[in-house]
A and B are shown apart, each in its own frame.
Chain A
Amino acid sequence: MSERLEIKNLHVAVEDQEILKGVDLAIGRGEVHALMGPNGSGKSTLGYAIMGHPSYEVTNGSVELIDADGTRHDILAMEPDLRARAGVFLAFQRPMAIPGVRLADFLRHSVTNIRNPDRKEGQELMPMRDFRGELKSKMQDLSIDTEFARRYVNDGFSGGEMKRAEILQLAMLRPQFAILDETDSGLDADAVRLASESIARIGGAEMGILIITHHEQLLEHNIPLQTHVMLGGRIVESGGPELAAELHKQGYDRIRKAYPEAAAAEEAMEAERRLETTTS
C-alpha cells in the first residue's frame, strides 16, 4: 500500500513540443486535490503522462509511488498496465470506444488483473458469479441500468453515460490514486451530485484523488485539501477550497496577471497550435 504519489519537476512533450514545463505535486493517501486551469493549460497532459500514454514523452522529472516504509516505485519505468496494477487510475476526459467489447467482459478482465497484480496472461479470471454480483451492486449504487454492462465499451455512449462508466470502473477497481479528468463534464445536474457523493464514498480514507475540473460541484462532497491552478504547463498557485470557488466565478484574469511568465507560455503554445493547424 503506497502512502504518497509524488510528482517532481515533470516535463512532458508531445511531438517535440513541450507542454508541461516542470510540475510538482504530491498527493497523500486519503487526500483530495483539485486541479483547475484554463483550456489547454496541460491538465489532461499531466493525467496522460502519469498513466503512461505513449504520445506523451516525459523529458524530465519523476513520478513515484512511496510506500509507508519509504520504498519508492518509479512509475515512469512501467508500462501503463503495470501502473494500473500498481494502483494508479485515470478517468479519461474523453474515454475511448472499443467496439465489439462488452463493458462487463472488459471490466472482469481488468478487475482480475488489478486485484491480482501478479496474474499471468491466460490465468483464470475472477469467478463469473462473484464478479456479476459485485458489478450489479456497484451499478445500482451509481443508478446505472444493469443492461448497460452488456453494451460495447464507450461505443455510442452519451457523454454522461461515458462518465458514469468511468466512475463505475473507479468503483470496481478501487485504485490507490485516482486522477479524475473532468469526470463532471457531460453529466446533468442530478448526475453530478450523485457522482460527487459516489466519488466521496468510493474514495474514503484509502484513496488519493486528483480532481481535474472547471466546476465546483464535484468538490461539494470531496473537499480538496488543496486546489492547484495550472497555467502554461505549470502549477502556478495552490490554495484551499476558496480558490476553486474564486476561479469558477471569476475566471483566470487575476492568475494570468499574477503570473505573466506562465501566461506568456500559454500564449506561445496557442500560437504554435494555430500555426500547426494552418500549415497542416
Chain B
Amino acid sequence: MSTDTDASSTLALGEINKYDFRTNTPSVFKARRGLDRDIVSQISEMKQEPTWMRDFRLKSLDIFNSKPMPKWGGDIGIDFQDIFYYLKPAEKQGKTWEEVPEEIKKTFDRLGIPEAERKFLSGVKAQFESEVVYGSLAEDLAKKGVIFTDTDTAVREHPDLLKEYFGSIIPPTDNKFAALNSAVWSGGSFIYVPKGVSIEFPLQAYFRINAESMGQFERTLIIVDEGAHVHYVEGCTAPMYSTESLHSAVVEIVVKKHGRCRYTTIQNWANNIYNLVTKRALAYEGAMMEWIDGNLGSHLTMKYPAVYMMEPGARGEILSIAFATAGQHQDAGAKLVHAAPNTSGRIVSKSISKNGGRSSYRGLVRVEPGAKKSRSSVVCDALILDDISRSDTYPYIEIEEQDVSIGHEASVSKIGEEQLFYLMSRGLTEAEASTMIVGGFIEPLVKELPMEYAVEMNRLIELQMEGSVG
C-alpha cells in the first residue's frame, strides 16, 4: 500500500464474502461421477482430440493408479470415485461476453473480470468448471503472433508446439496429481510469446468452480521465446459446499534465452477444496522466471512452484503468501534448482496462521554439480495470530557444488501484544490493529504486485481477518 492508493480499500472490514455465491447453471454435458478408462476416453472424445493426446491420457491414468499418495504435506481425504471429473458448462467459447450464457456471465461480472479486462488487461480467459467459456486477446498482440488460447484449442491448432512441450516439463510420472491431471485435464491457458515481443499489460485467467463435488483440472502451458516478456495472472475461487471438491492443475512454463515471465496467482478457495497443484518453469540463459503466489482458502493446499535454472545467468524468484485459518492447511513452498553456473534464485515466503489454521513452508534449494557461482537466498517468515494455530518450516537444501552462496533465514513471530497496544492506543480496534499488522507483514510481497492486484490481495487478507478477534 502506498499513500497514493486509497487506504479505505485495504481496511474495508465487515464486508460480505463476495466469492461465496452459487449460480444455477445447467450444464451442457456432465460426465458421470468417478474415474476410469471410460471416463477418460469420454473426455477425450468430447474434445475430439487426436490419438496422441488420448493415449497420453490413458497412459497417465495407469500411472495415477499405480502411484501412492504423496508422503509429505497434509492428509488427503479424497474419495476419487466420488468426484465429477468433467463438466461442460457451455456449448462453445464466447469471443464477446454477450456470447457467454447469461448466468455464467453474471458470475464473472460479480467477480469483476469484464471490468478488469476493460481497465488493465491485455487478454482474458475465463474458465467455468471444466471449460474456458470466454477468451479475448488484444488485437495488436495477436498481430504480433502472440497466442493466448485455452489449451484444448491449442491441441487442435498448434499441435507442433504442444507435442514438443506438453508434459515435457512435468511428466505424468512426476507425482500422483500430475498423473491425475494428465489423465483428465481440461481447459487452462496456452500462451506463446514470440521472440522479442513484450506484453505490457497482464494476461489473466480466472478459474471458477461452481458445482458441488467437482474436479477442476486445468492445464497451462506458457512458452516465452527469446527476449520476450509476459505477466500472466490467475485467480481462482469457488463457493462453499459441504462436500469436497478437487482442484488439481498442472502448469508448465519455458522461458527461453533472456526472456522474462512473471506468473501471479491469487486464489481464494472455499474451505472444502483440495488444491493440489504442480507448477514448474524452466529458465534458460539469462532468463528470468518469477512466481508470485497468494494462497488463501482451501481445505488443503499443496503447492511448490519450481524454477529450474537450466543455463548460465538464469534467475528464479518465488514469492509466496499463505494464509491459513480454521479448517485450513496451507502446505506451500518453493523449489529452486540451480542446474547451471552463475544462476541466482530467491525465495521469500510469508505465512499467517490464525483460528487453528496451519501453514507450512516446504522448500527445496538444489545446486547441481558444476553450477558454480550460483547464489540463492531463502527467507521465510511466519506470523501466528493465536495460541491454537500452527506454523512449520521444512527447508531442504541439497548442494553438490563448492563454489556457491546459499542463505537461509527463517523467523516465526506471534502478533505482538506491544504492537497491538500501540495501534489501539491510537484508536484502532483490536481487529483493525491486527489487520493492519498482518497487512504490514505481507507488505513487502504485496508491493511487488501491480496496483490492482495489490488491492485485491489486501482485500482478501481482510476477509480472512474478519472475526479474527474473539
Binding site for B on A (CB under 8 A): 51-55, 79-81, 83-85, 89-90, 92, 95-102, 104-110, 113-114, 120-122, 124-125, 128, 132, 149-150, 152, 169, 173
Smallest Cβ-Cβ distance to A56: which chain B residue: B421
State how many angstroms separate the Cβ of A79 from the closest Cβ of chain B: 7
Q: Are A121 and B441 in contact (CB under 8 A)?
A: no
| In contact, B426 and A92 (Cβ under 8 angstroms) | no
Which residues of B have CB within 8 Å of A95?
422
Name the distance in Å between A126's Cβ and chain B's nearest Cβ. 9
CB distance A106 to B423 under 8 Å? yes
Inter-subunit contact B11/A100 (CB<8 Å) = no
Interface residues on B, range: 35 or more
| 26 pairs, CB–CB < 8 Å, chain A vs chain B | A51-B421, A51-B425, A53-B421, A54-B421, A55-B417, A79-B424, A79-B429, A84-B426, A84-B427, A96-B422, A98-B437, A100-B442, A101-B440, A102-B1, A104-B3, A113-B428, A121-B431, A122-B11, A122-B12, A122-B14, A125-B8, A125-B11, A128-B7, A150-B2, A152-B440, A173-B426
Given A105-B1, A109-B7, A169-B426, residue A99 in contact with residue B440 (CB < 8 A):
yes
Interface of chain B residues 404 through 461 with chain A (CB within 8 A): 416-419, 421-433, 436-437, 439-444
Secondary structure dominating the interface of B = helix
Chain B residues positioned under 8 Å from A80 (CB to CB): 421, 424-425
B427 touches A114 (CB 8 A): yes
Total contacts A to B, CB within 8 angstroms?
114
Complex Cα gap A113–B433 (Å): 12
Tell whether, in the assembled complex, residue B431 and residue A98 are in contact, meaning their CB atoms are under 8 Å apart.
no
Decide if B440 touches A98 in the complex (CB within 8 Å): yes
Proximity string of chain B (2-29) to chain A, C-beta cutoff 8 Å, 1 when within and 0 when not: 1100111011111100000000000000
Residue pair A149, B424 in contact (C-beta under 8 Å): no
Specify which of B1, B15, B416, B431 is in contact with A96 (CB 8 Å cutoff). Answer: B416
Q: Is the CB of B426 within 8 A of A110?
A: yes
Q: In the complex the two chains form, is B419's CB within 8 Å of A102's CB?
A: no
A81 with B14: in contact, given A106-B436, A125-B8, A150-B3 (CB under 8 Å)?
Answer: no
Chain A residues near B423 (CB-CB < 8 A)? 98, 106, 110
CA–CA, A98 and B440, complex, Å: 7
Whether the Cβ atoms of A84 and B424 lie closer than 8 Å is yes
A92 CB contacts on chain B under 8 angstroms: 422
The reply to whether B444 and A100 form a contact with Cβ atoms under 8 Å apart is yes
Q: How far is the CB of A76 from chain B (nearest CB, A)?
A: 15
Q: Are B425 and A84 in contact (CB under 8 A)?
A: yes
Given A95-B422, A100-B439, A102-B1, do A110 and B427 touch, yes or no (CB 8 Å)? yes
* Inter-chain pairs besides A98-B423, A113-B426, 6 sampled, C-beta below 8 Å: A80-B425, A96-B418, A98-B419, A98-B436, A105-B436, A106-B426
Q: Are B14 and A120 in contact (CB under 8 A)?
A: yes
Q: Which residues of A contact B11 (CB under 8 A)?
A: 109, 122, 125
Closest 6 CB pairs of A and B: A100-B440, A100-B443, A122-B14, A101-B440, A113-B427, A96-B422
Assembled-state Cα–Cα distance A64/B98 (Å): 65
Instruction: Determine the residue in chain A with the shortest Cβ distance to B3.
Output: A104
Name the contact of A121 in the complex, choosing from B3, B10, B13, B442 (C-beta under 8 A): B13
Complexed CA–CA distance, A104 and B444 (Å): 17
Which residues of chain A come closer than 8 Å to B417, judged between CB atoms?
54-55
Q: How far is the CA of A92 from the CA of B7 in the complex (A)?
A: 25
Contacts of B440 in A (CB 8 A): 98-101, 152
Contact A121 B427 (CB under 8 A): no
Q: Give A114 to B424 CA distance when docked, in angstroms.
A: 11
User: Within the assembled complex, what's the spacing in Å between the Cα atoms of A122 and B427?
Assistant: 14
Complex contacts, A105 vs chain B, CB 8 Å: 1, 3, 7, 10, 436
User: Bound state CA distance, A83 and B424, in angstroms?
Assistant: 9
A39 to B443, CA, bound (A): 38
List the B residue with the shortest CB-CB distance to A105: B7
B contact residues around A96 at 8 Å (CB)? 416, 418-419, 421-422
Q: Which residues from B are CB-within-8-Å of A149?
A: 3
Given A96-B418, A98-B423, are A121 and B432 neighbors across the interface (CB < 8 Å)?
A: yes
Please give, as numbers and ranges, the residues of chain B lying within 8 Å of A169 by CB-CB distance: 426
Within 8 A of A (CB), among B5-55: 6-8, 10-15
- Shortest A122–chain B CB gap in Å is 3
Known contacts A92-B422, A98-B423, A100-B439; is-contact A81 B8 (Cβ 8 Å): no
Closest-by-CB residue of A relative to B432 is: A121
- Residues of B with C-beta under 8 A to A52: 421, 424-425
Q: Are B429 and A81 in contact (CB under 8 A)?
A: yes
Q: How far is the CB of B1 from chain A (nearest CB, A)?
A: 6
The one of B3, B422, B444 that contacts A102, using a Cβ cutoff of 8 Å? B3
* Assembly CA distance A83 to B2 (angstroms): 29
A55-B418 Cα distance, complex, nearest whole Å: 9
- A residues near B430, Cβ cutoff 8 Å: 79, 81
The chain B residue sitting closest to A125, CB to CB, is B8
When distances are taken between beta carbons in the complex, the residues of chain A under 8 Å from B425 are 51-52, 80-81, 83-84, 89-90
Chain B positions 384 through 418: 1 when the CB is less than 8 Å from some CB of chain A, otherwise 0: 00000000000000000000000000000000111
A173 to B427, CA, bound (A): 10
Query: A53: which B residues are within 8 A, CB to CB?
Result: 421
Closest to A99 in B: B440
Residue of A nearest to B433 (CB): A81
Closest chain-A Cβ to B11's Cβ sits at a distance in Å of 6
- A contact residues around B428 at 8 Å (CB): 81, 109-110, 113
Contact at A100–B419, with CB atoms within 8 Å? no
Chain B CB within 10 Å, residue with most, of A81, A124, A169 = A81
Is the beta-carbon distance between A100 and B427 smaller than 8 angstroms? no
Contact residues in B for A122 (Cβ distance below 8 Å): 11-15
**CB of A173 to closest CB in B, whole Å:** 7
CB distance from B428 to the nearest CB of A (A): 6
Q: Measured between C-beta atoms, what is the minimum distance from A145 to chain B in Å?
A: 14
Q: How far is the CA of A97 from the CA of B423 in the complex (A)?
A: 10
